[in-house]
Amino acid sequence: MNSATHFQASISHQIMALQILRLLKQQRDREDGQPSPQHMAAAPGQPGPGEDREKAEGSAEAKPGDEGGAESAPRNPGQCSLARVAVRIVLARVVESTSQLLQVEQTILNNLHQELSFPIYLKDSIEFRNICSRMARQQEGQSFDQDLNAAYQCLKTIIKKLIRSVLSLPADVRALACVALRQVLQNLLDL
């Protein structure tokens, strides 16, 4: 498999992961009584309208008792609500950062990679997709939370490796890509 094929395969795995993450987020928002975002119909890999607004408005507004739907009687409803809000915030951040990363890859890195091939780590994108698939099967509980953390860490690794790869390019062509990738990483880390 040549380098260009690796790059396109990496993007494809990330698009699949993003689709799964968006569905999980949409499902959790519905369960928690949050309005269903309209951007779910956006093209794969492209952020939908209002994603930034949704992250800012929807991710931190949940209050104890707003969960909606039936729940088994938790021992401490306050802790349960806080845990659900925390999971929803991390999930929203991973969805948003994955969408931003795909945008950078498709608009900036794709052109650079066609001109000046640089290392792509396909294994990380496959692992990211697989973690997201596992999350979709679990939906709740400690295993879901662990996989969400693993997805967060894997996405962070993908971005850091891309930054290192781009840094190997000549200074005159790497500037925009580095700035864009560092912004995506900063957005992911700002939890």
Give the pLDDT confidence of 99-116 residue by residue, as tens digits.
Answer: 999 999 999 999 888 888
- At 36, the amino acid letter reads S
pLDDT band at 167 (very low <50, low <70, confident <90, very high): very high
Number of Cβ within 10 Å of residue 23's Cβ equals 14
| Helix segments in 2-140, DSSP class H | 3-31, 51-58, 77-104, 110-115, 122-138
Domain edges within the chain: 3-35+77-189
Q: What is the pTM of this model?
A: 0.75
With b meaning 16 or more CB within 10 Å and e meaning fewer, what string describes 138-161? eeeeeebbebbebbbebbbebbee
Orientation angle between helical segments 77-104 and 171-189, nearest 10 degrees: 170
Q: Do 102 and 46 form a contact (C-beta atoms < 8 A)?
A: yes
Q: Which of 83-92, 121-130, 159-168 has the lowest mean pLDDT?
A: 83-92
Q: What is the pLDDT of residues 27-65, one digit of tens each?
A: 888 877 765 444 444 444 444 444 443 433 343 333 333
